[in-house]
Structure 1
Amino acid sequence: MTVDGGNAPPGPADHPGTLDAWFARQAAGRGDAVAVTGPDGRLTYRELDRRANRLAHRLRSLGVGPEVPVAVRAARTTGLVTALLAVLKAGGAYLPMDPASPRERQEFMCADAGARVLVTDSATDPLAPVAHTVVTGPADDLDDLPADSPPPAGTRPANLAYVIYTSGSTGVPKGVMVEHRQVTALLTGVRDRFGFGPDDVWSMFAPAAFDVSVWEMWGALLHGGRLVLVPDDVRRSPQDFHALLARERVTVLNQTPAAFRQLVRHEEETAERGDAPARLDLRLVVFAGEALPPQTLRPWIDRHGDARPVLVNMYGITETTVHSTYRRMTEADLAPGVGSVIGEAIGGWTMRVLDARGRAAAAGTPGEIHVGGAGVARGYLGRPALTAERFVPDPDSPVPGARRYRSGDSARRTGDGDHEYLGRLDHQVKIRGHRIEPGEIENALTRHPDVRDAVVVTDRDAAGEPRLVAYWVAAPGGAPPGPTELRDHLGRGLPQYMVPAVFVALDSLPLTLNGKVDRRALPAPEEQRPDLDAEFAEPNTPTQKALADVWADLLSVDRVGLDDDFFELGGHSMLATRAAAVAGERLGVRVTLRMLFDRPTVRELAEALDATSAPRHDNSDRGDA
């Protein structure tokens, strides 16, 4: 692998046109090679091409063409990849939606984007703004449609490829419009650094609605490699994910630092039990989505070294097409005092650190990151004022009319040309790789009739991972809602990763002298059991007590009752992974992540664990396989 490449912009000959045209060339040359593997089976390049062509014909008949957004909502199967490719073959732009996100949010995105067509694998959940729903799957009627490519739609590299929604500070999500040429520029811009090719096997870990999926999916398919879809339950289980990486012989892995720490912890716990972790074929691990503290890589480097797989940290933003910088991480970066280093701009991109007056910040002085070059997106869909505010003229570019993006991120340039990421300049945060505007959560909270004011901040849970904490003030005259009611209220309009782990009721929010919320004066959440709907019931059996102790330690609460829900206490998928591992070690039984998701109370989980460990005298099967 080439790991040191120049930053010269790719020339016109390097740009392969549209994404679907680039894929068609791979399909023509590698028809019998496996393109995608999922829980529902595998497709060769020829099979994927033909299935996508049939769906593209149907979409074309519904009026899909250049600049027409098409909503795609599907589980992580080969059908998802087929649908995304088909939208582009029809000439349209895909709008990916998480099937688990609230219906209200899905309908907002469709209405905001003007998506009149929905491609889905579920016929039972239509969306109001959509005029046409195309259901795909085993029972669809697409086999009667032509398997060859539809007539050219006239799509050009400057046409839209996709719209991905990100959190908005005003409480309204905003759609980022990305064109074909920005994605192809990304892949050509890193060509010399990574040497991607047909021997690579990529895991698609990110949800389709998260922009890293663009890099994973098209990085694999446009280089003739194989894409391995990671099912949702496997994504939540480091043990199962590690097994998938080994079984599928994945070579290219993309992870948020938080998710990778779970994978590293699994290897450590396996070794502590005296077992050898399964051998991996990784040649490259790319970190993205949040800050990477280099010291967290020590356990991995101690075990695997830093030569293979190569470890690369890439800073990026949805508005500048996934990745913007490249920084290879080595053992030297584990030294004390090294911050979250993000390197320099990739080929065709530019990065400037500017002060408040728009001038270059001196080396070592913090400033705002401005990203320019080939990856700058078209802007925010239907938000011209916000687009003008964030996408500003680029005086350093030789291209007339070029713009660069004001990221809102702070960094400082080091003496050797490297850059250290320092965090957000505003209150925007990243939780487990998801970019979140706390203002969107605050606005949703205050829409509850019994909530007057709210502010949302981040702190760290017992495992050291960032979490959301909501401080709120009750409206006068109403009945103050409990955490469960507030969590349910938010869950009806926000994705799960935006629901705070902790809710703190205050008489009033502290203010600064100029009347703004004084976030530094907010009290630390008390380490006590919140006021849940379930009455506290004391754990009694050894299994119940052990589970309650494990949960109390991980969730930073003083006690856990028999009927307390792990997730209502502030748990999330990564803490659940840790809870399952620690509980299993303490009890000497296998505790799976699925068991905890299916039985989230101490009572339910203890019953299941006791049943699986008890002697059997009949043929009943009450445990998890």
Structure 2
Amino acid sequence: MHEAICRQAERTPDAVALRGGGRDRSYRDLLDEAAALAGRLRAEGVGPGSVVALCTERSPEMVVAVLGVLLAGAAYLPLDPSHPRARLDLMLTTADAALALTDEEGRVALGTGGAPAVPVRPLAGADLPALPVDWRGYRAPEEVVDGLSYVIFTSGSTGAPKGVQMTHLSLANRLSWMQEEYRIGPGDVVLQKTPYTFDVSVWELLWAFLAGATLVTAEAQAHRDPQEMAAVIAREAVTTVHFVPSMLALFVEEPGVAACAALRRVICSGEALPPKLVNKLTATLTTVRVDNLYGPTEAAIDVTAWPCRRPEPDPTVPIGRPITNVVAYVLDDDGALAPLGVPGELVVGGDCLARGYAGRPDLTAERFGTVHVAGRPQRVYRTGDLAWWSPQGYLNYGGRIDTQVKIRGQRVELGEIESVLNSHPLVTNSVVLLRDDLGAAPTLVAYVVTERHADAGDVSEAALRAFLAEQLPDHMVPLRHVVLPELPATANGKVDRRALPAPPARVRRPVRVGSPSA
């Protein structure tokens, strides 16, 4: 893809490629900066087969760094500076990163509590030795074409995150399909708002540059604020944007949505999409096209797509049909093709699959396997999702088979949270649930059984949250904790999750006017 971006820059060198941080970068500027960074990386021995970590907040410099790593022939590994140091070190080691590029927040994150796990270099602005890299006429070496484009970590049920190793072939197929389907070009503006540790960010980062369009970077934490999202979409005349459905639900309630007159494409993925959101948005912005996409991180961002109808009439929005060069099968419990309308596990294959998980051949063998369809073997990924085919030939989503859930659009294995909780010296067992009966949004609740001698203060809700926050990102830390004498069990001895009680309501003390607490 970075070779194709170089070709586009040669065609439109003076067009605005990247806007953010108070300045516009032309395609020429963008590729000059990326090539300079690639030269610095080459001088440090980075090349085909290398992995370079990025630990930074969202910024135009982050976008330049992604292109620079790719031009150096390496794969990029995005890291969130807000994550605990132990988790960042684990990712660096598992992915076998050669070095890390950081801004100030990233440098502090990787250096807190001791020396960084890998050499740390500044993201931009350093006058360091470099080997020449010319983006004009650039052709990717064969070992790069056959190699990795990025490594993105997802939550793991064993207590350790999993590093998905994505190939250039799968990424190229995904972005080529996207351009064929949506046809953006000069005059289009794509908003980069998804955290770059989430695979949706990959198309946000690269797609615009393949088509001569402009990429606008939102401020570092702006994606959490629907009012700010409406403002930047209107101000920058954004034509193309992605929303996780839970954020779309907040966005459509903003008064500023009506001012987003340039918006033409809204891509949704990450969670089940309610039809009422589609219908409310398209009633407000009558020229907007909404598409519902589906795909696991292990299969190049998205593997199926559904162009939403106006209005979208069904109780749930389908996830659609496989994209170009991708196949999807629904298998029953015996591994045979399930009949139409019968739910089964969704497995996907074709030019979309990751190479596997970094440093985990056992897990790769477990999740990536072979199926025989029409007598032919085919490599596939077992998604762990339930789906069924409609008679009209499109897929419907039926939820998770296991305990994997989506929180703020990010995939989380509840087993990882439980594993960390169980490592607490005073916790003997735990179960984590995502409950949707406690308020407006689904809430993570942890149920813990503690040592009998445990002091209440040591296993209080605040204490357990603080313990988890040292090892897990914020979205994986349960908001509520319930201490139980034992976990309820079914007749066969398994934990009876349905019998776990709702956490008690929090008592709010009345505040007297004029009192010190008022």
TM-score range, shorter chain: over 0.9
1:236 Cα deviation after fit: 1.9
The aligned residue for residue 443 of structure 1 is: 419
Contact 2:240 2:263 in 1 (8 A): yes
Q: Matched residues in 2 for 1:474 and 1:429: separation?
A: 25
Q: Matched residues in 1 for 2:13 and 2:29: separation?
A: 8
Q: Matched residues in 2 for 1:361 and 1:324: separation?
A: 19
The aligned residue for residue 46 of structure 2 is: 64
**1:467 aligns to 2:443 (yes or no):** yes
Q: Matched residues in 1 for 2:5 and 2:128: separation?
A: 21
The aligned residue for residue 135 of structure 1 is: 122
Q: Matched residues in 2 for 1:233 and 1:541: separation?
A: 36
The aligned residue for residue 3 of structure 1 is: none
Q: Which of 455, 469, 482 is the aligned partner of 1:491? A: 469
1:82 Cα deviation after fit: 1.1
CA 357–191 in structure 1, closer or farther in 2 if over 3 Å, else same:
same
Instruction: Name whichever structure is richer in strand by fraction.
Output: 2
CA 152–458 in structure 1, closer or farther in 2 if over 3 Å, else same:
closer
The aligned residue for residue 355 of structure 1 is: 332
1:228 Cα deviation after fit: 1.1
**1:522 aligns to 2:509 (yes or no):** no
Higher deviation after alignment, 195-204 or 294-303? 294-303
The aligned residue for residue 8 of structure 2 is: 26
Give the TM-score of the pair, scaled to structure 1: 0.77
The aligned residue for residue 160 of structure 1 is: 148
Instruction: Structure 1 unaligned segments of length 5 or more: list them.
Output: 1-18, 271-275, 530-535, 545-560, 563-602, 604-625
* Deviations, residues 553-575 of structure 1 (Å, cap 9, x unaligned): xxxxxxxx96xxxxxxxxxxxxx
The aligned residue for residue 376 of structure 1 is: 353
Contact 2:233 2:260 in 1 (8 A): no
The aligned residue for residue 510 of structure 1 is: 488
Task: Give the alignment of 1:206-217 within 5 angstroms.
Answer: 206-217=194-205
Where do 4+ consecutive residues of structure 1 move more than 4 Å? 142-147, 149-154
Q: Which of 409, 428, 433 is the aligned partner of 2:409? A: 433
- In our comparison, the structure showing a higher alpha carbon Rg is 1
The aligned residue for residue 341 of structure 1 is: 318
Q: Which of 178, 183, 197 is the aligned partner of 1:195? A: 183
The share of aligned pairs that are identical, in percent, is 39
Q: Matched residues in 1 for 2:274 and 2:296: separation?
A: 18
1:355 Cα deviation after fit: 0.5
CA 125–362 in structure 1, closer or farther in 2 if over 3 Å, else same:
closer
Q: Matched residues in 2 for 1:360 and 1:434: separation?
A: 29
Q: Matched residues in 2 for 1:152 and 1:264: separation?
A: 43
Q: Matched residues in 1 for 2:41 and 2:166: separation?
A: 20
Cα RMSD after superposing both structures: 2.4
Higher deviation after alignment, 340-349 or 290-299? 290-299
**1:330 aligns to 2:309 (yes or no):** yes
The aligned residue for residue 539 of structure 1 is: 511
The aligned residue for residue 251 of structure 2 is: 263
Task: Give the alignment of 1:216-365 within 5 angstroms.
Answer: 216-267=204-255, 277-305=258-286, 308-335=287-314, 338-365=315-342
Contact 1:392 1:405 in 2 (8 A): yes
1:89 Cα deviation after fit: 0.8
1:402 Cα deviation after fit: 4.0
Contact 1:369 1:411 in 2 (8 A): yes
The aligned residue for residue 179 of structure 1 is: 167
The aligned residue for residue 500 of structure 1 is: 478
Residue 330 of structure 1 aligns to a residue whose secondary structure is coil
Q: Matched residues in 2 for 1:196 and 1:99: separation?
A: 32
The aligned residue for residue 386 of structure 1 is: 363
CA 151–257 in structure 1, closer or farther in 2 if over 3 Å, else same:
closer
The aligned residue for residue 460 of structure 2 is: 482
1:240 Cα deviation after fit: 1.4
1:366 Cα deviation after fit: 0.7
CA 89–527 in structure 1, closer or farther in 2 if over 3 Å, else same:
same
* Deviations, residues 316-339 of structure 1 (Å, cap 9, x unaligned): 11001101111111234235xx22
Contact 2:326 2:350 in 1 (8 A): yes
CA 202–25 in structure 1, closer or farther in 2 if over 3 Å, else same:
same
Instruction: Structure 2 unaligned segments of length 5 or more: list them.
Output: none
2:334 aligned partner, one-letter code: R
Q: Matched residues in 2 for 1:320 and 1:29: separation?
A: 31
Q: Matched residues in 1 for 2:36 and 2:484: separation?
A: 57
Q: Matched residues in 1 for 2:333 and 2:500: separation?
A: 28
Contact 1:55 1:83 in 2 (8 A): yes
* Deviations, residues 529-576 of structure 1 (Å, cap 9, x unaligned): 4xxxxxx7643459x9xxxxxxxxxxxxxxxx96xxxxxxxxxxxxxx
Residue 218 of structure 1 aligns to a residue whose secondary structure is helix
1:173 Cα deviation after fit: 0.4
1:33 Cα deviation after fit: 1.2
The aligned residue for residue 387 of structure 2 is: 411
* Deviations, residues 350-371 of structure 1 (Å, cap 9, x unaligned): 1111101111111111111011
1:452 Cα deviation after fit: 1.4
The aligned residue for residue 589 of structure 1 is: none
Residue 372 of structure 2 aligns to a residue whose secondary structure is coil
1:143 Cα deviation after fit: 9.6
1:241 Cα deviation after fit: 1.1
1:146 Cα deviation after fit: 4.8
Contact 1:201 1:249 in 2 (8 A): yes
Contact 2:39 2:130 in 1 (8 A): no
Contact 1:43 1:78 in 2 (8 A): no
Q: Matched residues in 1 for 2:207 and 2:492: separation?
A: 49
Q: Matched residues in 2 for 1:175 and 1:381: separation?
A: 5
* Deviations, residues 566-622 of structure 1 (Å, cap 9, x unaligned): xxxxxxxxxxxxxxxxxxxxxxxxxxxxxxxxxxxxx7xxxxxxxxxxxxxxxxxxx
Q: Matched residues in 1 for 2:21 and 2:494: separation?
A: 50
The aligned residue for residue 606 of structure 1 is: none
